């Protein structure tokens, strides 16, 4: 029988991670875990409680106090619930994107979310997407991918995503946000965005989503058969 694997997908904002992870999980019959949604939910709670995004100890306590769950709903998506409330849309604003990037640099916040991420993935049959899945959360994941794309194409994808949610921003502004967030995620001291030594890097700039999904699925299925 095919083994149910742990698949790690890391990469910068707008590299196509979310779409690819969603479709790959569906193709494999696996669960999709969006770990960025956890950082976003903590940022949202901090905002609601008036906690400063500079107060690392308070943010760590805030992260520990969050009840975070994923629930599969009819729209074929794994929604994130914060303290019993579906916050999947509320966490997708540019403000929460920057806040999540900022608070994710604090070890207090990362530590608070580490156990939950491992718990969500440990049984296998999961595709986890994030920044440090292959390096920190599941260094022994069965398959690891690092998705990249040019800054322009990532900014274009982000702009389309935002427009689909009714948020219209100047392209240069979206690009600046993508570059700023990359810098924060890559330069932070704890668990920075970085390709794991044994991850396969896939540059998606000139690939269709279908091509990326098929490439990754083939590799995962091959490893799954090998057991």
Q: Does 154 bind ligand DC (CB under 6 A)?
A: no
Q: Does 131 bind ligand DC (CB under 6 A)?
A: yes
Please choose, from the candidates 180, 125, 128, the residue with its C-alpha nearest in 3D space to the C-alpha of residue 5: 125
- Cα-based distances in Å from 32 to 25, 49, 156, 158, 188: 6, 29, 24, 20, 26
Minimum distance, C-beta of residue 35 to ligand DC, in the bound complex (Å) = 4
Pairing of strands 68-73, 77-82: antiparallel
What track of x and - describes contact with ligand DC for positions 157 through 176 (by CB under 6 A)? --------------------
Q: Please, which of residues 37-66 interact with ligand DC by CB under 6 A?
A: 39-40
Q: Which of 60, 121, 130, 134 binds ligand DC (CB under 6 A)?
A: 130
Which DSSP category does 92 fall into? G
Q: Is 187 exposed, middle or buried (0-12, 13-18, 19+ CB in 10 A)?
A: exposed
Closer to ligand DC by Cβ: residue 177 or 224: 177
What track of x and - describes contact with ligand DC for positions 19 through 38 (by CB under 6 A)? ----------------xx--
Closer to ligand DC by Cβ: residue 127 or 133: 133
Please choose, from the candidates 61, 151, 46, 145, the residue with its C-alpha nearest in 3D space to the C-alpha of residue 99: 46
Q: Does 13 bind ligand DC (CB under 6 A)?
A: yes
Q: Please, which of residues 99-118 interact with ligand DC by CB under 6 A?
A: 100-101, 104
Closer to ligand DC by Cβ: residue 64 or 221: 64
Cα–Cα distance measured from residue 56 to residue 171, given in angstroms and rounded to the nearest whole number: 32
Minimum distance, C-beta of residue 1 to ligand DC, in the bound complex (Å) = 30
Of the CA atoms within 13 Å of residue 223, those in its CB half-sphere come to 15
Give the footprint of ligand DC on this chain (CB under 6 A). 13, 35-36, 39-40, 100-101, 104, 130-133, 181, 185
């Amino acid at each position: 029988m095919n083994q149910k694997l742990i698949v790690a997908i890391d990469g910068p904002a707008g590299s196509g991670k979310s779409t690819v992870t969603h479709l790959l999980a569906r193709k494999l019959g696996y669960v999709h875990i969006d770990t960025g949604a956890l950082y976003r939910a903590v940022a949202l709670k901090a905002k609601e409680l008036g906690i400063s995004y500079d107060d690392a100890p308070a943010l760590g306590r805030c992260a520990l106090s969050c009840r975070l769950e994923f629930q599969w709903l009819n729209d074929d998506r794994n929604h994130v619930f914060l303290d019993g409330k579906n916050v999947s849309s509320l966490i997708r604003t540019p403000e929460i994107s920057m806040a999540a990037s900022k608070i994710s640099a604090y070890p207090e916040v990362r530590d608070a979310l580490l156990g939950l991420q491992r718990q969500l993935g440990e049984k296998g049959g999961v595709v986890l997407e994030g920044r440090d899945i292959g390096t920190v959360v599941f260094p022994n994941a069965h398959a690891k991918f690092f998705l990249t794309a040019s800054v322009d194409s990532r900014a274009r994808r982000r702009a389309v995503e935002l427009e689909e949610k009714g948020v219209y921003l100047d392209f240069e502004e979206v690009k600046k946000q993508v570059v700023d967030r990359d810098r924060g995620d890559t330069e932070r001291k704890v668990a920075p965005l970085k390709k794991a030594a044994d991850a396969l890097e896939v540059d998606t700039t000139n690939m269709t989503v279908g091509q990326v999904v098929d490439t990754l699925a083939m590799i995962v299925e091959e490893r799954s058969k090998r057991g």
